Every structure is written in C-alpha cells, then in structure tokens.
Amino acid sequence: MKLFTKTIYYTLLFLNKIPLLSSLLKKTIYFSYSVVSTNMNFLYEVKKISYPKLIIDIGVYRGTPDLYNTFEKSFFLLIDPIIDDLIFRPKKYSIINKAVFSKKQKREFYMFKDYGANSLFSNSKKAVMKTKQVETITLNSIFKDYSKQYDSIGLKVDAQGSEYDILSSIKSFPINLDWIIVENNISSRYNNFSNLSSVTRILDLKGFKLVNILQPSRPIIPEAYECLYIRENINYLKSI
C-alpha cells in the first residue's frame, strides 16, 4: 500500500510539471474536493437551530449552492459588484449589484485572472488584470432596509479581504440576526487587516461566538476558512 501511495504521489508530482496537465490537474482536484467536503451536512444541523426567513449573501461570485439547497425556503439577498459569473441561484432572491464596505463611496475594484479573488483590496500574490469603479454600500444600510421585514436573518460574508471592514463598522447587529458565516483569511492574501483573528475578535465583542470551522478554501495549504458564528444567547448544542 505504501508503494502504491508513493507511486501515485510521484506520478502526480511529475504530471504537475507539465503546464497543460498541471492546470487540468488542479481544476480536477479542487472540483473533487469541493464536492467531497461539502458543507451541507453541517448546515443541516445549523438549520435545526435557526431557519432564517432572510439570508444575506455578500460576495456571491458563482453562487453558494450548499447554502441555497439547505435553506431552500429562505429568501436570499445576493450582493456583489460583479454578477456576470453567477451560475447557482436560490429559488427566491433579489440582487444588489454593489460592493459592501465600511462606508458608502465609490472605490476601485481589483479584478484578477481568478475572478473568485476579485476584491476592493489589491492581492499580494496575484497580478491585477484590470480595475473597475464600483459603488459601495454598508451592512448598516442593508439591515436598515431589510431587517424589520423578517423575523429571523442569517448572514454570509465572503468579500475577499473586506470582511473585517464590513463587520467592524456595525455598532450592534439586529436582534433577529441568528448566525454569521465568514470566509476568513489565514494567509496574508490582501493588503489589509482582515483575517481569522481580527474578525473573530470583533464578532466576539458584538455577541457572536465562533462555534465551528466549516471548510478550507483549498485541499492542500488553505488560504482561508469558512467559519460559523452564532449569537451567544442561542443554545446551538440543542440540536445534538
């Protein structure tokens, strides 16, 4: 078995040196990994604790199918300055074609070869392909417009480096916000302050506790983790 494993390992290393095969190999590994390590099982447990009437999805890119399939009865607010790549859509949704940031303004939006990495911040590891001026809105304004219409809310933030800016600008979250899912950077990908430690600290001060790390962003050395935070007065152990 050890010989077989070593053979596979060194074969993959060799194939990885061939540019065309390397690209195909990475795409196959990442696709397989995303299917095998789905979040849906854990999200079903979250659903037992809170099934929000509204879920705000900040940073959509191609969509968040695990979330949409698990909470299929929820209404989704999809927010992203670029919606051209949106493939997966929930049953009930509305789109806000803007970026979310700590203040309302016009900002430069950096676009990379990997569009999933597009950000309001430059990336220390990726070359910028082009930039675009986009309008930004605040999370405060989103809550002001929507929170009173629904008795329960969930929030997902995957804003490629803007997570801390978005969440730290909130003085207090609406009392009907039950949980928050954040993609937190582990490595210093973007030229800013947003990472797992800074986001967890600010959310803890605002009454949301880190209860689980859902899924890394890649199968080998992760750049980011999706983390689940639940309001501190919710007994998340009751579903066990």
pLDDT per residue of the chain (240 residues) written in tens, 0 to 9: 446 655 665 675 566 667 666 555 555 444 443 444 445 567 887 888 899 999 999 998 888 888 999 999 999 999 998 888 888 999 999 999 999 988 998 988 787 776 567 776 766 666 677 888 889 999 999 999 999 999 999 999 988 878 888 998 888 899 999 999 998 877 666 656 667 888 899 999 999 999 887 765 555 556 778 889 999 888 765 554
Contact indicator for 59, 81 with CB cutoff of 8 Å: no
Could you count the other beta carbons within 10 Å of the beta carbon of residue 136? 20
HSE of 103, CA atoms in CB hemisphere, 13 A: 3
- Same domain for 104 and 213, yes or no, is yes
Q: d(Cα 30, Cα 190) in Å, to the nearest integer?
A: 22
Q: Are 71 and 151 contained in the same domain? A: yes
Same domain, 31 and 52: no
Count of domains for the chain = 2
Residues 169 and 193 in one domain: yes
Residues 120 and 153 in one domain: yes
8 and 127 housed in the same domain: no
Q: Domain span at residue 26?
A: 1-36
Query: What H or E segment, with its residue span, contains residue 25?
Result: helix 19-36
Give the containing element (helix H, strand E) for 49. Answer: helix 40-49
Shared-domain flag, residues 222 and 109: yes
CATH number of the domain to which 97 belongs: 3.40.50.150
Q: Are residues 24 and 103 in the same domain?
A: no
| SS3 call for 87 | coil
Give 154's strand partners. 55, 179
